[in-house]
Amino acid sequence: MHDAHAVNHLVETPGADPVAGRVRWDPVHSLWNGGMAAAALLLGPITFSLPALGVFVITTGAALLLGHSVGFHRRLIHRSFECPLWLERILVWFGTAVGMSGPHWIIRTHDLRDWAQRRADCHPYLSHGSGMAKDAWWQLHCRLELDNPPTFDLGRAGRDRFYRILEATWMWQQLPIAALLFWIGGWSFVVWGVCARVAICVHGHWFIGYLAHNRGPQHWIVEGAGIQAHDVPWAGFVTMGEAWHNNHHAFPGSARIGLYPGQSDLGFVFIRALEQAGLAWEVRTPEVTSARFEKLSAAR
């Protein structure tokens, strides 16, 4: 049976150390993230319209729900449910369309941080342990080069030809979206449906991640982990349930992240809808995996 708590794609090699390393400028992601933000700030006000705003809301919601939350995070990374391969590939394409990077980069980045935060100590890049301005620069424009990094085995995702194509062309995946939006509504739809959407998704992902590792309510403490997570209640709805990050640290393999009354979780709602349609099965929840939580204790 798959271990619901596993860091699925990371291989902890002898001597692997999450502390010693240097943060270096990442020109590809820096220019991409900065360019999208600049385009949104400069062109957004002069192309604004209510239809363009509607396109922004719809495309952002679809990308975050189908792609980032369900496709990338709950399926590809944590394997919290099973589904047909064709459906997984559609969801992963939506995840790539979010505009943060390709599926292989996302897996490595997530699993490195997950592994490091479970250790007694890790580099502040991996813990969001610096001030907000410095952490924003690091996360949005830089990469961490560890002196003794672990290795990765991406398994089927690494061998999948479609995912390798997405990895190599992740920026270019915005072109068909832009072409469709231009055909429907012109440049205003492109600016708001591509540039503004990518900018808010990328920067919002960093911002919620920063808050979720520094402040907010907690229901759980993961014993032995140097970094504990917090919930970000005001962002639960807009992040499709991903902002209940304290719950996620406690139950990383669960398809359900919003666990308590009032904790909205649209990602889990969508997975349940897939299950009802016969397109998802073996949906893992804390109830199913409760026997594996002997190392967790309720927080005050």
User: pLDDT tens digits, residue range 94-117?
Assistant: 999 999 999 999 999 999 999 999
Amino acid at 171: M
Report whether pLDDT(292) > 50. no
| Cα–Cα separations (whole angstroms), residue 85 to 97, 142, 160, 167 | 18, 33, 11, 17
> CA 149, 150, 152: angle at the middle one, nearest 5?
130
Identify whether the C-beta of residue 163 lies closer than 8 Å to the C-beta of residue 92: yes
> Whole-prediction pTM value?
0.94
Model pLDDT, residue 298: 47
Measured distance CA(136)–CA(239) in Å, rounded: 19
At residue 2, the pLDDT reads 58
